[in-house]
Structures are given as structure tokens and as C-alpha cells.
Chains A and B, each alone.
Chain A
Amino acid sequence: MYLKIIGSILIIASTSAIGYWYSTGFQRHLNELQYLRQMLIMIYGEIQYTQEPLGDVFSHLGRRLKSPYMEWFRYMTEAISDRSRVSFSELWQTSVDLHLAERDLKPKDLEELKDLGTQMGYLDTETQLNVLRLYIEKLEINIQTVREGLASKKRLSNCLGVMSGIFIAIILI
């Protein structure tokens, strides 16, 4: 009997932990999007104020960002300086895959971020800033959407975690 009780408690605890981890995933996703927005606002400001080439922008900002964005920007600075790729978009997409694929960003977020690379670096400053502004606005909509559903999704994950544990325990008993 004691074994059954201990086993049930363990099952419920594990599924609850999974549910909790899943619920914090929504928060991590939101945090990641917010950091991405903050980073892009910094790129926007740097281009608007200094009008420096992208390599210099990444070099300046890289020092102020946290890992792995810092490493990403360092990689971009070096790759731009070496002219290691034919186009900027190719370089940008490779670097996003290399540094951000493991983060809590959804495939859709990564695709949008990669698309940004196709519009960076050419034409005039005004167009460049408009492109960034558009992306930041899109990011804000995404953040808003994630934030709106966050509380209910977190609650649902937590409940599902506990409930599925109870369910499994009942079946096993």
C-alpha cells in the first residue's frame, strides 16, 4: 500500500514538474521575444544616430548584450569584416541558425528574423530604418499575442500536469 502511495506521489510530482516546465516555456518564449525587440531597438538607434555600417553596429552592441546574442553579434562582426559570404542575407541566415536555433524561439519567429536579413544593408538609411521599424512592430504584435494567452496557457499546463499525474496514478492503482 505504502509503495502505491509513494509511486502515485512520484508520478504526480513528475507530471506536475513537466507541466510546470512547459508553462515556464511560454514565459521564456515571451522573454526571448522581448529581448529580441530590445536588441532590434538598439540596432535601430545605432543606425539612426551613427549611420555606421552593420559590422560596426554589431561590434558596438555585442558588448552590451547577454549570451548568446553577444556571441551572435561577435560572429556577425567577424563575418562581415572577412566578407565570408556573398550576400548579407546568406550571412545573417547562417548566423541565426548557428546561434539562435537552440533558444526558446518558435520556428515562425526564426523565419521572420531570417527574412529581416534579406532586407538589411542596402538602399538608404531611411529605408533601412523603415525595414527595422516594420519588423519591430511585427515583433510587438507577436509579443502582445503571446502575452494575452500567457496566463491561461500557464494555468492550463500546470493543471494538465497535475491532472495527468492523478489520472495515471488512478489507472495504475
Chain B
Amino acid sequence: MAENLRRQQIIRVLPKSVQAVLERQGIIFDKLQEIRLRTDQPLFMIYKGEEVMPKGGGKYYVVTKEEVREALEYISHYSLYAYENEMKQGFITIEGGHRVGMTGKAMIEHEKVKNIKHVSSINIRVSHEITGCADDILPHITLHKQVCHTLIVSPPRCGKTTLLRDLIRQISDGNKYVRGCTVGVVDERSEIGGCYKGVAQNQLGMRTDILDCCPKAEGMIMLIRSMSPQVIAVDEIGTIEEIHALEYALHCGCKLLATVHGTSMEEIRKKPIFEQLVKDKRFERYVVLSNRERIGQVEGIYDERGSRCI
């Protein structure tokens, strides 16, 4: 994504005064990871991997309640009501796939979060795709130019979604390891595609159909019935309903790409809802990630028996 475009997408959702502070700082938006606005607290940024507190008038720039409200107006296009469902989950995806998280007072109805009011903190996470991060893994999860049923196992913040996104792109477009095929993506939290108004802002390939903000179990079945995908991709499976939907997809002849929280094959084997899947050899490949030396480090790739391939 061009620096100027990214700059425009981020700047336009910030309060005018914060925009001026960032302009003075001469920020390169390609190197910007996060901007945090907290009521009555200094403005924070994660820039070039480090925390930065910009100054305004010699002191740290302190964000006011009005500025948080102003940012919220811009983020929601002056239409908070239109983002009710997103706010329930605590974030809104803006143009460019950047994610705006927010906290405040949760409004509860029938023991579920109905909305957030008195928003006091806003965290703008700048979207950064890493295209090509799946290059080393793809040859190990394909066979005769067809993708294998693959489960990516990874602890949080180790790059499983980034890896899944790049796998989807490569499988969808096709290359020397895999024949390009139709990929159906169920993106419950808009993390894979970073959809804005239903259109993926991240590169997911030319044969990809994405179902945004849809519960995974329901979404997988909807996709099979409506779009006949050859591959189905989902992020962070974990409930029994999702496992049932996965099995349904398997019976329908779809190849599966999924991720799950975990640190090793042993841990997956011990998880009650995955135990049977591993025993039944539902998945043909398991990719285990970690952040031991760097984010997204491949700890091992395992076959359907759970034996290490690499």
C-alpha cells in the first residue's frame, strides 16, 4: 500500500489537533504500527517498533475527551449507529483494513455486551500485510498441486493470521506449487481480509470469496451452499459448532485451512475437541508457529499421523 494512501486513511480519522501533532513529527506511515488515544493521557504511538510519545508545546501531548469524541465521529463517518455490531466486538475496521479498537463502559443486555458507551480509549492499529511470508511453507502443505487439509497451530501474536492470509492469496492466485482455486473465507472478526464495506482491503487473491463478520460455523455452511469453494479458510477455530462445520466441509470435498491457538502438537492432541480430529487424521498437515527467535517462526510441520515432516 502506498505511503500516501496509508497516510490519508489514518490521518482522516484523527482529530484535527492530533493530525497537526503528527504532521509536525514527520511520521512515515509505513513505519507506524499503532496510535493510542486515551482520555486525559498522553498520545502514544508505536513507531518503528518503539513506543513514542509526541510532544506539543514542549510537553507531552495530552488527549482530551473532546478529541476522543471527535475521532469517534470521524471513524464512524458521523454514524455510530451503523457500527453497532462492530462496536459490540470492540473494534471497527476502517478503509485500508486498519483496525480501530475502543474501550469505555460496556452496556450489557441479556448478559451480553450490547454496545460501548463513554468511549475513553481508542487504539488505531495500522494494517501491515506481509506478502510472501508463506513462501517457505506452501511447498510442504501441497501435494500434486493440491492443497492439503492444514491446521496452523500458534500462540497469540505469532503471525498465524498473517500466514493464513498469505496462504489464501497464494492458493487463490495459484503458483508452481498449487493450482489456483476458489477459496472461501469466513472472517468472523475481519482480521483476515480487513474488509471495509464488504470488500477485502488485504490481498486475498483473485479467486477468493469472503464472508465478513459472520460466525464461523454458520459461515462455512453458507459458503459451501452458495459459493462452492474448493478451499475453505477460517481463523481461530475452537468451539464444538465450528468443529462440526469443519467436518461438514470435509464431507463436501472442500480442502480446509484453519488456525488454532496452541503451542505444540502435543497440546493439540490433548485438547478435547481436537483429539478426535487428530486421531481420525482429518488434517493432513499441522504447521506449528512460535515467536522464539522471530514472530512467525516455524517450529515444525507435521503430517496426518502427527509425525514431523520438517
Chain A: residues with CB nearer than 8 A to chain B? 47, 51-56, 80-83, 86-88, 91, 120-125, 127-128
Contacts and interface: CB of A to CB of B under 8 A. Distances in A.
A45 B79 CA distance: 16
Contacts of B84: 51, 124-125
The 8 closest A-B pairs by CB, nearest first: A53-B79, A88-B78, A53-B77, A53-B82, A121-B78, A125-B81, A128-B81, A54-B79
Contacts of A56: 197
Nearest to B74: A83
Contact of A122 (B12, B13, B80, B197): B80
B73 A53 contact: no
Interface in B42-101: 70, 73-74, 76-84
A166 to B, nearest CB: 57
28 contacts: A47-B81, A51-B81, A51-B82, A52-B79, A53-B76, A53-B78, A54-B79, A54-B82, A80-B78, A82-B12, A83-B12, A83-B73, A83-B74, A86-B73, A87-B70, A87-B73, A87-B78, A88-B73, A88-B78, A91-B78, A120-B78, A121-B73, A121-B76, A121-B79, A122-B81, A124-B84, A124-B115, A125-B84
Nearest to A122: B80
Given A83-B12, A86-B16, A123 B81 contact: yes
A128 B74 CA distance: 18
Contacts of B81: 47, 51, 121-125, 127-128
Interface centre among A91, A122, A128 (most CB of B within 10 A): A122
Interface string B198-222: 0000000000000000000000000
Contacts of A51: 81-82, 84
Contacts of B83: 53
Nearest to B82: A53
Interface string B10-26: 00110010000000000
B79 A55 contact: yes
Nearest to B66: A86
Contacts of A86: 16, 70, 73
Nearest to A120: B78
Contacts of B82: 51-54, 125
Nearest to B114: A124
A57 to B, nearest CB: 8
Nearest to B117: A123
Nearest to B95: A81
A131 B260 CA distance: 45
Interface centre among B77, B82, B83, B197 (most CB of A within 10 A): B82
Contacts of B197: 56
A125 B82 CA distance: 7
Contacts of A120: 78
Contacts of B80: 121-124
Contacts of B77: 53-55, 80-81
B300 to A, nearest CB: 45
A87 B77 CA distance: 10
A148 B7 CA distance: 57
Given A83-B12, A121-B73, 16 more contacts: A51-B81, A51-B84, A53-B77, A53-B82, A53-B83, A54-B78, A55-B79, A83-B13, A83-B73, A87-B70, A91-B78, A121-B78, A124-B80, A124-B84, A125-B81, A125-B84
